[in-house]
Amino acid sequence: MADRYASFAHSGIGKAVVKRLGLPNPPRLRRYRPGQPLVEAPVLVDGAPHGRLADPVRELLTAAGVPLGDEAPLGGLVFDATGIVDSTGLRALYDFFHPRARALRPSGRVVVLGTPPESCENPREATAQRALEGLTRSIGKEFGRGATAQLGYVTPGAEAGIESTLRFLLSARSAYVSGQVIRIGPGEVTPPEDWERPLAGRVALVTGAARGIGAAIAQVLARDGARVIALDVPAAGESLAEVANDIKGETLQLDLTAGDAPARLAEYLRTRHGGVDVVVHNAGITRDKTIGRMDPDRWDRVLDVNLSSQERINDELVDRGLIRTGGRIVGVASIAGIAGNRGQTNYATSKAGVIGLVRSMAPLLADRNITVNAVAPGFIETRMTAKMPLALREAGRRMNSLAQGGRPVDVAETIAWFASPGSGGVTGNVVRVCGQSLLGA
Ligand SMILES: NC(=O)c1ccc[n+]([C@@H]2O[C@H](COP(=O)([O-])OP(=O)(O)OC[C@H]3O[C@@H](n4cnc5c(N)ncnc54)[C@H](O)[C@@H]3O)[C@@H](O)[C@H]2O)c1
């Protein structure tokens, strides 16, 4: 659905009105197009003394053809904070960011890298590293003009696994992701031969792919080289076929809640492809009512589609060894699962459950090199949000650092980063695709 306010704010007269009245000013976000350079302006990489990441970051960015420098306008600011071992050392952040608060070009990127507090040697270091969250999230709210800011915690020893995440965060693919804390651990990483097609040779299943976010996920994974199996209910067969034809993928008409769905899906993957590399659990429904007015069917349907069916399918595919080593499971949660939402006890419960699933399964599947992560979308422009009452829809669009709704492609790009063979160190993460929404922040 068109964001008429954003169109107005971008017009000649609109710009003046927005400025004079101090209204929200949604910037135009730079989004990824194939062939686009990773970053279009120099990136400044610096860090506190004795950090372990500034040098590897400079090396990998140079190898990726990204110009490094300190001349505004900059495409990105990367600060290695791993050398900060106590609270007095945090001054290095001020010294770096204060003179550069206006140095970024529109849609510029800020990435702060640290050590996970739980991996620090002592409480002082853990305290200082935890403090990085406050800085990063505040910069996401301050810099404006489409800038985003993230914190990447890199476990000691996992330095070699940061490229895929750094590429995602610095590029236009992460247009609607801001204020996030991402953990990169020691998983096995296979750098793709071609970063433009990291999923070449991989088979990806996308549920709920007939429309909305699922269709965008199917398109982006196919663009990145995957053979995509687009799954949806039989009633959505026609639009499912359109999505699949467009990307030269396959369709699988299946109601995920049917008793035999896990077995039928497993058989399909086994006989056609000998297994699967990427499983994206995107299918989801809402049946909103406050809990006092909710009939049991609304509760049961939402929990079954959004959570229990995912568990049954994961179990079947994992137990039968059909998710290949290096595999990726990605769930689609929601900020409602983090913040809660009036009228959505069933939905928020199911989505919080998806977060629980990710966190509890990730360590269990680590020894098979299978990662499990989730995205938590905020307000995304889809049919689901187009149905919201006007006031609620406008609030959803504006109450975030980017003052606009996201697009299905923004969720899809984040999933493609999780799915990349280069993201083996990224597991157990829940990344919000919400423009740094105030809800649940
Ligand atoms: N749109 C948003 O702003 C937003 C925000 C947060 C989370 N999400 C989540 O993102 C996902 C996609 O959302 P959307 O807005 O594209 O929704 P949508 O309703 O447009 O698409 C969902 C798809 O899932 C399919 N589906 C539903 N039940 C199924 C079943 N039993 N078996 C197989 N397929 C089934 C539907 O047929 C549909 O094609 C959902 O999980 C949703 O909860 C969306």
Residue 248 alpha carbon to ligand 1 centre in Å: 22
The residue whose CA is least distant from atom 42 of ligand 1 is 284
Which pLDDT score, from 0 to 100, does residue 283 have?
Answer: 98
Q: Is the pTM of this model over 0.85?
A: yes
* pLDDT surpasses 70 at 441: no
**Which of ligand 1's atoms lies nearest the C-alpha of 379?**
3
What digits encode the pLDDT tens for the residues 270-280?
999 999 999 99
**Which of ligand 1's atoms lies nearest the C-alpha of 255?**
32
Report the share of the chain in percent with pLDDT over 70.
Answer: 98
Residue 285 alpha carbon to ligand 1 centre in Å: 5
Average pLDDT over residues 136-151: 97
Ligand 1 lining (C-beta closer than 6 Å): 207-208, 210-214, 232-233, 236, 255-257, 282-285, 305, 332, 334, 377, 379-380, 382-385
**Which of ligand 1's atoms lies nearest the C-alpha of 208?**
24
Query: What is the rounded distance in angstroms from the CA atom of residue 71 to the CA atom of residue 77?
Result: 11
Main-chain phi, psi angles of 228, to 5 degrees = -105, 130
Using CB atoms within 10 A of its CB, is residue 293 exposed (0-12), middle (13-18) or buried (19+)? Answer: exposed
Distances (CA, A) of 308 to 34, 69, 349: 37, 50, 12
* pLDDT surpasses 80 at 179: yes
Which pLDDT score, from 0 to 100, does residue 400 have?
Answer: 94
* pLDDT surpasses 80 at 440: no
Indicate the top mutation candidate among 3, 206, 213 to test ligand 1's pocket, ranked by most ligand atoms within 8 A of CB.
Answer: 213
What digits encode the pLDDT tens for the residues 317-329?
999 999 999 999 9
Band of pLDDT at residue 25, cut at 50, 70 and 90: confident
320 contacts 329 by C-beta, under 8 angstroms:
no
Which pLDDT score, from 0 to 100, does residue 18 have?
Answer: 66
Average pLDDT over residues 419-438: 97
Residue 347 alpha carbon to ligand 1 centre in Å: 12
Positions of CATH 3.40.50.720 in the chain: 31-184, 203-433
Give residue 434's Cα distance to chain centre: 9
Which pLDDT score, from 0 to 100, does residue 17 have?
Answer: 59
Band of pLDDT at residue 56, cut at 50, 70 and 90: very high
What digits encode the pLDDT tens for the residues 355-378?
999 999 999 999 999 999 999 999
Average pLDDT over residues 415-426: 98
Which pLDDT score, from 0 to 100, does residue 4 have?
Answer: 78
Average pLDDT over residues 259-266: 98
What digits encode the pLDDT tens for the residues 180-195?
999 999 999 999 999 9
The residue whose CA is least distant from atom 13 of ligand 1 is 213
Indicate the top mutation candidate among 232, 300, 387 to test ligand 1's pocket, ranked by most ligand atoms within 8 A of CB.
Answer: 232
The residue whose CA is least distant from atom 25 of ligand 1 is 208
Fold of 203-433: Rossmann fold (3.40.50)
Band of pLDDT at residue 1, cut at 50, 70 and 90: low
**Which of ligand 1's atoms lies nearest the C-alpha of 286?**
43
51 contacts 82 by C-beta, under 8 angstroms:
yes
The residue whose CA is least distant from atom 43 of ligand 1 is 284
* pLDDT surpasses 80 at 20: no
Band of pLDDT at residue 90, cut at 50, 70 and 90: very high
Residue 283 alpha carbon to ligand 1 centre in Å: 4
Which pLDDT score, from 0 to 100, does residue 383 have?
Answer: 84
Residue 244 alpha carbon to ligand 1 centre in Å: 17
Fold of 31-184: Rossmann fold (3.40.50)
* pLDDT surpasses 80 at 11: no
**Which of ligand 1's atoms lies nearest the C-alpha of 408?**
16
Which pLDDT score, from 0 to 100, does residue 414 have?
Answer: 98
* Average pLDDT taken over every residue of the chain: 95
**Residues annotated catalytic, as ranges:** 347
Closest CA to 38 of 56, 64, 3: 64
Indicate the top mutation candidate among 382, 433, 439 to test ligand 1's pocket, ranked by most ligand atoms within 8 A of CB.
Answer: 382
Torsion, CA 218, CA 219, CA 225, CA 226, rounded to 10:
10
What digits encode the pLDDT tens for the residues 112-141?
999 999 999 999 999 999 999 999 999 999
